Structure 1
């Protein structure tokens, strides 16, 4: 069993949890919660949403 990383917020996903979403082009997206999945489907980018780990990592010193 391996731990996955959320494709939207970069949070860790325990084995047996989360959702897998396969796009038409064959790429696989892993989501830790329905909150991340819905934000992705709305077209939002994790780098611009303030509660994600990605945003916090990029804007650490600002």
Structure 2
């Protein structure tokens, strides 16, 4: 009987980006009719307010 080798694949821990909790909705966007943009790409999903130049979440 032959032994089948067992291989272990070590998966490094993924370092997630840090995002501050957004609590400026009431002061900046409430009642302004600013849409939320969601970009569901093939590699990552990004979301943010239409009036900002960078996404709030990636």
User: Do the two structures share a fold, i.e. TM-score over 0.5?
Assistant: no
Bigger Rg over Cα: 2
State TM-score, norm by structure 2: 0.26
State TM-score, norm by structure 1: 0.25
Larger helix percent: 1
